[in-house]
A and B are shown apart, each in its own frame.
Chain A
Amino acid sequence: MSLALAMGEVAPRTVPDIRLDVQGLAKSYGGVAALEPVSLAVRRGEFLTLLGPSGSGKTTLLMMIAGLVDPSDGRILIDGADVTAQPAYRRDIGVVFQSYALFPHLSVFDNVAFPLEMRRLPKAEIRRAVTSALDLVRLGPYADRRPRELSGGQQQRVAFARAIVFQPSIVLMDEPLGALDKRLRDELKLEIRRLHRELGATIVYVTHDQDEAMLLSDRICLMNRARIAQLGTPGTLYTRPVSRFAAEFLGESNILSATAEGGLLRLADGQTVVTRDAAAGAVEVLIRPERLILARSGQPGLAAVVETVIDLGGVRQIFLRTAGGLVLRATTLGGGGPGPRPGEQVTATADPADVVVLPGGAAR
């Protein structure tokens, strides 16, 4: 049974709502697994992100869905039909490549018209569809330009227009913002989000950037070491990571070793915290830095001393050392007075709901 079903987040397979169904898909190169068997279902209109470090298998998975890499094992179903043996040109999937792969010898218009010409649409219809796709990405006035005459951000939008103009059943995007600078990335992220909403397209998106994944996705499929590490909504992944890897990959984290003693968790330094999670024996515990509440010393909670304060303007990062020598990181909002000073004795507390016991090992 797939992890996705185990999490109870995907409807059973028979429901026609599922557009893309990946079943036990695997790839190995000369005995080395680039992707262990993976199962995954994507709903119609859903934005699913494959997130993970490089070498985690996310691009391999995407390329197999596109039909550009042959799987070693498993099946791919689109709207219930098995397309595993279909070549890329029969799959009806739009792909936005990391390098955009715009045809340099064709104008913007001809690039976007290309998939429609392949489908032998009448000229008038092609013109209308291309014009509206270019308007959608706000490049109408650039139709006659060559790709190299456009900026990186504009090229990216042409690539997107070309991938959606033929209304493919699925749009795949392989790190489409990877080649752009940060400011442009932030702008285009919002643009992609808008386009997804407007088009209602089913999108599978690959990135290693957690901010992109959090902002864009309906669900995130977190990948590590050629496997799915966790699959769920951005909120779930952030608040309820199932492994140390997931906890550390998304957002900042304090991860502490602890031993369960009744309802209490005894940390390595001898102090205790309270959790709502069930726990037994030796466990790892996650407390997000912004969930740590600092109070004057003497209150119930973890006794600690402030070591370093980094004022980033909007927020402050405070490094603490507990009485027993554990290092904790707390994040508080900036402004509103001078804040704690190095050397000051404080108490750190967290809501029991924010003390998360990680069920999996670090390797997951």
Chain B
Amino acid sequence: MTRTRLKLILLGPALLFLGAFFVAPVAGFVAQGATPDQLNRLAMAGAYLRVLGNSFVIAGWVTLATLAVGYPVAYVLATMDRRRRGYWSLFVLLPFWSSFLVRSFAWIVLLGRNGPLNDLLVSTGLADRPQELLYGPAAVVIGMTNVLTPFAILTMLGVLEGIAPELSRAAGTLGARPVQAFFRIYLPLSFPGIAAAGLLVFVTAFGFFIAPALLGSVRETMIAQLVIQQVLELTNWPFAAMLCLALLVAALAVFLLYDRIVGLSSLAGGTGARRDGGRIGRAGSRILAMVGDGLARVAPSRPRPPGRAPATRAAALLVIFFLLAPLILLVPVSFSGQSFVSWPPTDPTLRWYGEVVASPIWLAAAGRSFFVAFLTALGCFAVAMPAGVAFMMMSGRSAAALFALIVSPLIVPRLVIAVSLFYVYARLGWVGTTLGLVIGHIVIALPFFFIAVLAVLKTYDTRLDQAAASLGAPPWTAARRVTLPLIGTGLVSASLFAFVTSLDELNVALFASGGLVSTLPKMMWDEATLRFSPVLAAVSTLVLLVMSAVVLLALRLGSSVKES
């Protein structure tokens, strides 16, 4: 068998799957929107334009806030020694992988009229009575920032870890004060990371509907909500397609920019940092240098670099608290004796947990979610594992193209994927079927799984197979005795991440699961849009526990691979 044929066979499943369930549905669906009629409709109706403008403004604010809040954490993590970094980054990874939905719910409690924040404001005398913090642009931005900051931190961390610590030290020996070294050396070098995080956060925020729907008022309606409304309430397919096209174009434009600045391969852990940004980059560096010099002149001389400065650390800790707050504060609410959500919770009770466990609807949803997640993990393995092996055999342009194809579901807003699949399912009669859900979840989880698998395969030295062969092991024995023991845990870890992604997936289920056959996130979403009850807090706490356990296990297995 020639190498080319082997590669084609290995690539077959991935190419067919993505072609049939991603490329064709999405392209086919959004193409319907590309008509002058629909464009006119968008342009004529001021309400729609306002939503579009809203989405831009909110996503912009969220991006700024995320970067401002995330950078200190990324900086402190990147300048820590390796062991402590591994420990502290858990506090970013856990919120990153824990339920989007649950974290957004928590802000309803946190910012609510009787919530802990109002409690704090009143008791410290900053306000004389509880303020309306919910249902405004601030609540939406805070909620989205909270949800997206871990994402931004991890993106920036990838670049910041690559900045050699000697550079700041070298700047010191050459006469630069710590502030100067930071502004002249460290910050310019971290720019690709900041830009990448900013772009990714922007494009994700732009297609968001959970936070604006739960925490905002009608005035904060975003484009994704409009899509849902057009599909589910008005069944206006062509116009929904037009809106999806707008989302898609915005996303693609942002990713092209990302690729220009950092390079998509950096997603797979490759070294990014391409060219400096030309003239603009140089002008920016000069401004930063001037800022640094100015600060150095006014700042008291400090013998320690800012990474170890207590102020930076305190800021980072504060941000970590902000990230964890929704997770921590949901737990007490689930034990509250009141039947409405209140703060502080009183009369501790297990009543709500009892209700959940006794409810056939919740149990059915949970069972279905786990089943779907399990099948999703299996499906990802079947589709992406052969492609990963093929990827390792490829190089140059074809490898880059394959990588771009398999991670492209990450680039297309999930909502667009979900609506496109819904459109196809509606005609195939797959709406409300487990198969439909699993296929959608595989498309969405595939990029995460593929990236994790590549990380595992990259650490594997293929010469070990050759060594096993030279020592007399036939291929299957070599795979069983040498290859699998070495990469097995890494593959399990990758599958767990696919599992978690599926468990928290709402978009596909929003359209593709109907009536009694809901998934857990869909049930939670339906509940939350009606009323946030302690039952929901109990469910959220349980979901959080399960997801955290799975993620911790996955991280543990993943890191044991890296160490060996």
Which residue numbers of A lie inside 8 Å of B, CB to CB?
66-68, 85, 87-89, 91-95, 97, 99, 101, 103-105, 114-115, 118-119, 162-163, 166
Contacts and interface: CB of A to CB of B under 8 A. Distances in A.
A92 B176 CA distance: 11
Given A103-B167, A105-B189, A105-B276, A114 B173 contact: no
Nearest to B275: A146
Interface string B166-196: 1101111111111010001100110000000
B175 A118 contact: yes
A101 B166 contact: yes
Most buried by B among A66, A94, A114: A114
Chain B binding surface SS class: helix
Contact of B189 (A93, A101, A104, A118): A104
24 contacts: A68-B169, A68-B172, A88-B169, A88-B173, A89-B172, A91-B173, A92-B175, A93-B173, A94-B173, A95-B170, A97-B166, A97-B169, A101-B169, A101-B170, A103-B167, A103-B185, A104-B189, A104-B273, A105-B189, A114-B176, A115-B174, A118-B175, A119-B175, A162-B174
Contacts of A87: 172, 301, 303
Contact of A89 (B164, B173, B189, B273): B173
Interface of B: 164, 166-167, 169-178, 180, 184-185, 188-189, 273, 276, 285, 301, 303
A297 to B, nearest CB: 50
A89 B170 contact: no
Among B166, B174, B301, the most chain A Cβ lie within 10 Å of the Cβ of: B174
Contacts of B167: 101, 103-104
Contacts of B164: 99, 101
B305 to A, nearest CB: 9
A88 B273 CA distance: 29
A115 B175 contact: yes
A101 B186 CA distance: 12
Contacts of B301: 87
Contacts of A162: 174
Nearest to B174: A115
Given A66-B173, A68-B169, A114-B184, 11 more contacts: A67-B172, A68-B173, A88-B173, A89-B172, A89-B175, A94-B173, A103-B170, A103-B189, A105-B188, A105-B276, A114-B171
Contacts of A97: 166, 169-170
A171 to B, nearest CB: 10
Contacts of B188: 105
Contact of A118 (B169, B180, B285): B180
A99 B175 contact: no
Nearest to A87: B303
B498 to A, nearest CB: 36
A25 to B, nearest CB: 18
A114 B174 contact: yes
A229 to B, nearest CB: 28
Contacts of B285: 105
A67 B173 contact: yes
Nearest to B169: A68
B147 to A, nearest CB: 32
Contacts of A91: 173
A216 to B, nearest CB: 21
Contacts of B172: 67-68, 87-89
B169 to A, nearest CB: 5
B188 to A, nearest CB: 5
A323 B170 CA distance: 59
Nearest to B285: A105
A99 B176 contact: no
Contacts of B189: 103-105
Nearest to A68: B169
A114 B285 CA distance: 13
A105 B175 CA distance: 18
A166 B180 CA distance: 18
A91 B276 CA distance: 32
A97 B167 CA distance: 9
